Amino acid sequence: MSVPMLLTPMEPQTPDEHMQNCAAYADAASITADDNYATGNELLEAAPSTGCKPTLRQFNVRLQTALAAEEQLALTGDVKALGEWQLSRCVPLDRLDELSWQTTVRLQSCRQIEYRYFVYVEDAAGNKQIRRWETHFKPRLLLPCPEQQCNSPVDAFGIANPLENTQSQVHRGWLNHEAIVQLKFNGEKMFQVHDIETFDPQHVQLKIVPVEQSSGLHVEYSKQLYGRSQLQLQPQFGVPYTKGDIVIFHITLPLEQMMLQHFRLECYSLDHQLLGSATLNAAQLTGSEGLLQLHIKSAQRPDETLARLRLPYVLVQPYQYSPLDFKTTYAHYWPRSWPNLDVGHRGNGKSYIAEAPQERENTIASFLSAHAHHADMVELDVHLTADGIPVIYHDFGLRTAPPGKQIEKPDQLEYVLIKDINYELLKRLRIFSVINGKVFEYPAHNAEPRTEHRIFPRLVEVLQQLPKSLGIDVEIKWPQRRQGGGSEAEQTIDKNFFADRVLHEVIRYGCGRPLIFSSFDADMCTMLRFKQNIFPVMFLTQGETKKWQPFSDLRTRNFMAAVNNAQAFELAGTAPHAEDFLGENAAQMLQQARDQGQIAVIWGDDCNSKERVQYFTQIGATATCYDRSDLYMPEAKQRAFFNSSALLAEFEGQCRI
């Protein structure tokens, strides 16, 4: 559907060199006030002396492939007549033939106008769903023209400037009046079979069939294989599945249909014989995520159960706080002219260890220390408190003790989860760590007189106080289930609520700077991708490691599985663990990610030396995330890459408020 656009550079460039590369476009596009042209948002009658009058402008579009019968092509732009980037006020085009579309709009001939094309469908209530849209960083331009001399060129859908780039830039839209349900065959031992001879889960084909058909209901799947993981329509007799495969069914349906829709999971043999089926309905989805217990009944003997299936699901709801628009997107913006970046892990590095840096991790002081040592970005960890406040801290919980209690041994400490504590109480709690068997106490938030050194800063405070020239990797903390059973921590906060609370603060206060989301939770990445269209998202993984127990989700097990999942749901890329890249094929693995248009930000203790920082840069990492920018930053580096007013100007379009 789209050609990758996220490519790391072969030859890193400075901010000034990067801006020179962009200058040609800017020079060609700029129309100044001296030329008597305007770029306002209202269709107004110009003063008679200017000779600027409303003129019919024709838009002609040619598609590379025909649309589905229910799909419609539309147009939106930065003037009222084109809907001012709003989905609800877009301009539909008329179908001339299978590939050609056209419309005519009355516009001011003296105005330069920005616009984009997109594909949508309507549900039964008349709400529009964005199937695909043009995601070039710069919108199309309709230049001013003399009255009666306005030509009507034919645009190619997805190709904004064919003279500069013939690669299509089209991606899926974001949720508005619809939801996504994903049914996930992404684990081990999902089937419990009664008779292997009548139902063999090693040789089966799976299909999700809607019982009720309705407008806006769309079923797709991803079978995650390198270079072939994109969402697509199901085959007639289902998707081949065997143990170890990763198959995700991706269902889009109108919100009004959620509680009414029923589905049937059909299981076919490899020779296309229906073996059995199970029924499910959307009302069984009792939260943002869960586990469905399905009974697969025999097609020949409906009373007979062939197998039981434990099927995980995730439900993605639209972002609830404010509508988004088509103005621009940074979700796939990582120019190939950018150099390999240096990212400060938790600021200037981990602090609850021996030989820790002076500033405590995940504090504003630590972030500013990394910035002072020329870090291009910092990574920080976000939790939600019991009263819904996004705060910065790494672990899911903390060691504490009652006021006044003398603590001498680790077993005297209590462990509490952040999600169970209101923010005002969290600021009062005593904080301890255990290092090499010894107990150390640190100042509580309220006991620290230096504001920038206080633990548990709110996300909004960090976004407001850090300079715009310091990029931010916002890691969303969500506990993972382990392969051997159990979970990293208990989580009772609803996942959609969690994502929306963080998005609300980032969209409102974090715009105008380089910012990317990441998470170890593949479903959280999916949520962040489909809830918004502004910021990029990358899948954070621990890969094949000897340091920790593997997670149960097969998508987390190795680098290529993460790359495939990123391709399936159009993420910006991955943040893999450094341990995956200490072998001979490290550069080849990173090249495979680049070939899919993905970034790869490498992290881990194995990055923590000047030699390793240089090594990961040499093998092609997009960025390296490490502790102690004050110790390991390349000596030749004189300033952070984003420390450029011209470069920061590129991010002003993120701001919607």
302-339, pLDDT tens digit by residue?
Answer: 999 999 999 999 999 999 998 999 999 999 999 989 99
pLDDT for residue 175: 98
pLDDT for residue 153: 86
pLDDT for residue 12: 44
pLDDT for residue 35: 35
The SS3 assignment for 394 reads coil
In the chain, the largest separation of any two C-alpha atoms, in whole Å, equals 87
The C-alpha atoms of residue 220 and residue 224 are separated, in whole angstroms, by 13
- Asked whether the beta carbons of 347 and 466 are under 8 A apart, the reply is no
Q: With 50 as the cut, is the pLDDT of residue 42 above it?
A: no
pLDDT for residue 441: 96
Tell me the average pLDDT across 195-213: 93
- Asked whether the beta carbons of 590 and 620 are under 8 A apart, the reply is yes
Mind listing the pLDDT tens digit for each residue in 246-290?
999 999 999 998 889 999 999 999 999 999 999 999 889 989 999
pLDDT top residue among 459 and 322:
459
- Asked whether the beta carbons of 341 and 620 are under 8 A apart, the reply is no
pLDDT for residue 160: 86
pLDDT for residue 283: 84
* Complete DSSP assignment for 195-240: -TTT--TTSEEEEEEESS--TT-EEEEEE--TT--S-BPPPTT-EE
* Complete DSSP assignment for 28-58: HH---GGGT-B--SS--PPPGGGT--EEEEE
The C-alpha atoms of residue 550 and residue 554 are separated, in whole angstroms, by 9
- State the DSSP H helix or E strand holding residue 23, giving kind and residue range, or none if neither: helix 15-29
Distances (CA, A) of 3 to 437, 533, 564: 53, 18, 15
What are the residues whose beta carbons fall under 8 Å from the beta carbon of 139, sequence distance 6 or more? Answer: 77, 78, 114, 115, 116, 160, 327, 328
Q: In which residue are the tokens 């500033």 written?
A: 359
Between the CA atoms of 191, 195, 199 and 202, what dihedral angle is there, to the nearest 10 degrees?
60
Mean predicted lDDT score pLDDT of the chain: 91
User: Beta strand 140-142 with 100-108: parallel, antiparallel or unpaired?
Assistant: unpaired
pLDDT for residue 657: 64
Tell me the average pLDDT across 100-107: 96
Tell me the average pLDDT across 611-631: 98
Tell me the average pLDDT across 443-460: 98
Q: With 60 as the cut, is the pLDDT of residue 56 above it?
A: yes
CATH hierarchy code of domain 341-384+461-478+492-652? 3.20.20.190
Structure tokens given for 631:
């110790």
Q: With 80 as the cut, is the pLDDT of residue 102 above it?
A: yes
> Which pLDDT band holds residue 204 (cuts at 50, 70, 90)?
very high
| CATH number for domain 178-316, candidates 2.30.30, 3.40.1180, 2.60.40, 3.30.1380 | 2.60.40
Tell me the average pLDDT across 158-185: 91
pLDDT top residue among 44 and 245:
245
What are the residues whose beta carbons fall under 8 Å from the beta carbon of 196, sequence distance 6 or more? Answer: none
Distances (CA, A) of 590 to 206, 571, 622, 623: 33, 16, 9, 12
The C-alpha atoms of residue 563 and residue 539 are separated, in whole angstroms, by 8
The SS3 assignment for 373 reads coil
Q: Which long-range contacts (CB under 8 A, 24 or more apart) does 621-624 make?
A: 621/340, 621/581, 621/590, 622/8, 622/334, 622/340, 622/341, 622/573, 623/340, 623/341, 623/342, 623/343, 623/376, 623/377, 623/599, 624/340, 624/341, 624/342, 624/343
| Buried-state track 222-239, b at ≥16 Cβ within 10 A, e below 16 | bbbeeeebbbeebeebbb
pLDDT for residue 642: 97
Environment class of 336 (CB within 10 Å of its CB; exposed 0-12, middle 13-18, buried 19+): middle
Tell me the average pLDDT across 32-55: 48
DSSP state of 472: E
Mind listing the pLDDT tens digit for each residue in 73-98?
999 999 999 999 999 999 999 999 99
State the CB neighbour count (10 A cutoff) for residue 591: 14
Tell me the average pLDDT across 474-491: 95
> Which pLDDT band holds residue 110 (cuts at 50, 70, 90)?
confident
Distances (CA, A) of 627 to 466, 599, 610, 640: 19, 20, 11, 16
Intervals of CATH 3.20.20.190 along the chain:
341-384+461-478+492-652
DSSP state of 159: B
Intervals of CATH 2.60.40.10 along the chain:
54-172
The C-alpha atoms of residue 602 and residue 604 are separated, in whole angstroms, by 7
| Residue 350, Ramachandran bin (φ over 0: left; ψ between -120 and 50: alpha; else beta) | beta
Q: In which residue are the tokens 């029923």 written?
A: 262
> Which pLDDT band holds residue 20 (cuts at 50, 70, 90)?
very low
Name the least confident of 34-48, 124-138, 322-336, 560-574. Answer: 34-48
Structure tokens given for 101:
């579309």
The SS3 assignment for 443 reads coil
pLDDT top residue among 395 and 485:
395
> Which pLDDT band holds residue 54 (cuts at 50, 70, 90)?
confident
* Superfamily of 54-172 according to CATH: Immunoglobulins (2.60.40.10)
